[in-house]
Amino acid sequence: MTIDVLNNRPGSRFGLFKGDGVIWVIFFFLCAISLLEVFSASSFLTYKSGSILSPIRNHATYLFIGWLVVVLTHNVPCRWFKFYPFLIGPVAVICLLILSFSKAMTNGAARWLEIPGVGVTFQPSELAKGVVVIGVAFILSFLQTEKGADRHAFKYILWVSVPFIVLIFFENFSTAFILGLVVLMMMFVGRVPFSQIGKLLGILAVAIGAFAFFLIVTPDSTLNQIPKGHRFATWKHRVQHFMPGNTKEVAPEDFDIDKEAQVAHANIAIATSNVVGKFPGNSVERDFLSHAFSDFIFAIIIEEMGLIGCAFVVLLYVVLLFRAGKIANKCERNFPAFLVLGLSLLLVTQAFVNMMVAVGLFPVTGQPLPLVSKGGSSTLINCLYIGMILSVSRFAKRRVASTNQRQEVATAVNEDEFTRTDGMA
């Protein structure tokens, strides 16, 4: 009896929907919202392609492939994810270096590389984010002691993360910012000595302040002449827009809607949404927002689904983060726990940055809403992260179930021995 019970381990066979059921529900809800809202917000792409179904068909294909990625990944034992930084890290570095010397621009930035002969583009920064987060999780787990992370963990984390953040910084400041913020949160959760984190925060505060001052006092013409500084003028205007002196109200007749078109139409979409919204397919501002299907899809969600739909989407990401914390608490080893926390922090932080941009609480960035915005490589990479989280939840769940089964077997054996002893007496 004991052998039969112990061999009946949940999750030991390949399955389609193993692991944490709540994560699966969140994943499918986000995909369903994505299909609905991308189809509604793709009027520009529909006009450009001449086909109503072409944009949503392409997006649905990526979501289906992403689902396959989730299914395959969540069946992989989470210990194998330790090799991701060693296998993908060199590829990400090479791609980022190629990108830094590339002159091919999209929307004023060099963020995409095209795979020769295939015609498919991807963002190397998406690969780099996973490399950094998984690498930091590995370092924190390897150097974890009873009193917290070893002091050497701090410098190793910087060696892993800083080169990638610097390579990403010049072309994609928002991604570098999010990645750096996630690394800081992982160090805090990983119990890196606070004195080291405090010194790093002090240095970053001084560096960011000095850089912001440099942008403000330097003319645009000079900024554009700085090597790799073609994005500096854009950053300068976004910083100035959020400075305290520029928050005064502007009369409607004096507002230049062409100068701040994205922000203006996002505000109009939100202001006209009411509580229940206009219902899917009835958005007006999708025809005026240039990236309604990606960067500003949250504004379209609010316009069509109202405050109720907005709160529901926010709740999905919040539950994802809390559920990841619960999964981490079940892990027997350190690496899976730090892995699931790091990946969930990455997804949720990016989501909140996107939503804050849409409602005017953060400068405009090029960050999509994870698993909701239309995308190719970003969608697949985010599905890979969801698969990793589910893999951790699957094997953590299996460990808890196996422990309970062993306790049941031990209890049954003790009761059997007690019965036989009592019978002999």
Q: Does pLDDT of 121 surpass 80? A: no
- 170-206 pLDDT, tens digit per residue, is 878 889 999 999 999 999 999 999 999 999 999 999 9
Cβ atoms 324, 344 nearer than 8 A: yes
Amino acid 153: pLDDT? 95
- 216-275 pLDDT, tens digit per residue, is 888 877 877 777 777 777 777 777 766 655 555 655 655 556 666 777 888 888 888 888
Q: Higher model confidence: residue 120 or residue 281?
A: 281
Q: What is the 3-state secondary structure (H, E, C) of the chain?
A: CHHHHHHCCCCCCCCCCCCCHHHHHHHHHHHHHHHHHHHHHCHHHHHHHCCCCHHHHHHHHHHHHHHHHHHHHCCCCHHHHHHHHHHHHHHHHHHHHHHHCCCCCECCECCCEEECCCCEEECHHHHHHHHHHHHHHHHHHHCEECCEECCHHHHHHHHHHHHHHHHHHCCCHHHHHHHHHHHHHHHHHCCCCHHHHHHHHHHHHHHHHHHHHHHHHCCHHHHHHCCCCCCHHHHHHHHHHCCHHHCCCCCHHHCCCCCCHHHHHHHHHHHCCCCCCCCCCCCCHHHCCCCCCCCCHHHHHHHHHHHHHHHHHHHHHHHHHHHHHHHHHHCCCHHHHHHHHHHHHHHHHHHHHHHHHHCCCCCCCCCCCCCCCCCCHHHHHHHHHHHHHHHHHHHHHHHHHHHHHHHHHHHHHHHHHHHHHHHHC
Q: Does pLDDT of 155 surpass 70? A: yes
Q: Does pLDDT of 407 surpass 50? A: yes
Q: Does pLDDT of 382 surpass 90? A: yes
Residues of the chain above pLDDT 90, percent: 46
Amino acid 227: pLDDT? 73
Report domain extents, the chain: 16-246+256-414
Which of the residue ranges 81-95, 220-234, 284-298 would you say has the lowest mean pLDDT? 220-234
* pTM for this model (two decimals): 0.86
Amino acid 109: pLDDT? 60
Amino acid 107: pLDDT? 57
Across the chain, what does the average pLDDT equal?
Answer: 83
Amino acid 250: pLDDT? 58
pLDDT tier at 372, thresholds 50, 70, 90: very high
pLDDT tier at 400, thresholds 50, 70, 90: low
pLDDT tier at 101, thresholds 50, 70, 90: confident
- 204-222 pLDDT, tens digit per residue, is 999 988 988 888 888 877 8
Q: Does pLDDT of 156 surpass 70? A: yes
Amino acid 1: pLDDT? 36
Task: Tell me which residue of 278, 266, 268 sits closest to 306, measured CA to CA.
Answer: 278
Ramachandran assignment for 93, one of left (phi > 0), alpha (psi -120 to 50 degrees), beta (any other): alpha
Task: Tell me which residue of 101, 93, 99, 100 sits closest to 121, measured CA to CA.
Answer: 99
Strands 120-122 and 148-149, sheet pairing: unpaired
Per-range mean pLDDT, top range of 258-262, 299-303, 415-419: 299-303
Distance CA(399)–CA(11), nearest Å, equals 10
Amino acid 33: pLDDT? 94
pLDDT tier at 55, thresholds 50, 70, 90: confident
Q: Higher model confidence: residue 77 or residue 420?
A: 77
